[in-house]
Amino acid sequence: MAAISLDPSLSLQHIGTDTHQHGPVVEEIEGLIRVYREGHVERPQIVPCVTSALPLELGVTSRDVVIDKFTNIWARFYVPAVCHAKLPLLIYFHGGGFCVGSAAWSCYHEFLARLSAKAGCLIMSVNYRLAPENPLPAAYEDGLKALLWLKEQALRGAGEWWSRLCDFSKIFLAGDSAGANIAHTVATRLGSNRALEAMALKPLGLKGTILIQPFFGGEVRTHSESYMVQPPRSVLSLAVSDTYWRLALPAGANRDHPWCNPLSKGSSKLEDVWLFPTMVCISEMDILRDRSLKFCKVLVRAGKRAEYIVYKGVGHAFQVLSRSPLSETRTLEMMAHIKVFIGR
């Protein structure tokens, strides 16, 4: 399977003259999403959705499971075919600015299948609701719902094909871009009351969070946002980022809303929140680089166990959206780092 390469020049447009049966277009990220004044949303299939089938030589089995049929939340599981003991589980949230993306996107299907094989872990890739039809906190609620569903499976015992191989005492929250934001926000909500979290999720044992290029923002621009407005080798520009936030945040909120900016004055003080050990994966050519670095430094100052790795020469979402030799090298490095983190 080959990774999908998106054009880094994907642009944002505010269109007031284009008309349609649903009225004029009010927001657009070319090739990804178009929003009309009357609320209609179109998402061109720039990345194909694929079934759970995988090549036999990969050594990973994948199937889809329904979590909530009423809200259409589901997950795609990845299980190594050969394992000699129960394995840790990554609950993974895909990226896409909260507005696009799917657990069935071919690029995520390939990346997570390979990660499962190389890191020796089970992966539960959650397909959550998207904005603007379902603005935040819908995605966070779906993340919590996925955790509670997993708790129910653990209480039922080893009944499902994947659960017989799952070590429910070693659960990690993970994701890239908007998915990393979801993983962090879910962890923060749980950590706001450690005793309640431990009781509510028992017998699950949450051990850490893995944040890949976390999608955070703020009204004040960082250095990397200012000078890498349209960065090379990256699919995320400043204009695209701002559009995603306008579509995802509650009406009237700006980019200093706590869901966008976890370091803003309105956010919970990290010193007062119990957090799991955290690993942050940062891309050197990403507009979010400096924001991620500051986030990590604040975590450490707050006494949290946090570490970060900067991947040189690559941009946002390189591990799923680029097929260059350098991106492949960095992707293998990232997989190796994740394997070490979850194996501690």
- Answer whether 342's CB lies under 8 Å from 119's CB: yes
C-alpha of 157 from chain center: 28
Residues 6+ apart with CB under 8 A from 270: 262, 298, 299, 302, 304
Measured from the Cβ of residue 51, the count of other Cβ atoms closer than 10 Å reads 11
- Answer whether 148's CB lies under 8 Å from 203's CB: no
The three-class DSSP label of residue 211 is strand
Catalytic residue numbers, as ranges? 177
Q: Which of 9, 41, 46 is nearest to 25 (CA)?
A: 41
Q: Which of 207, 222, 228, 241 is nearest to 342 (CA)?
A: 207
- Answer whether 2's CB lies under 8 Å from 11's CB: no
Backbone dihedral angles phi then psi of residue 333, each to the nearest 5 degrees: -60, -45
Distances (CA, A) of 9 to 45, 56, 259: 17, 36, 27
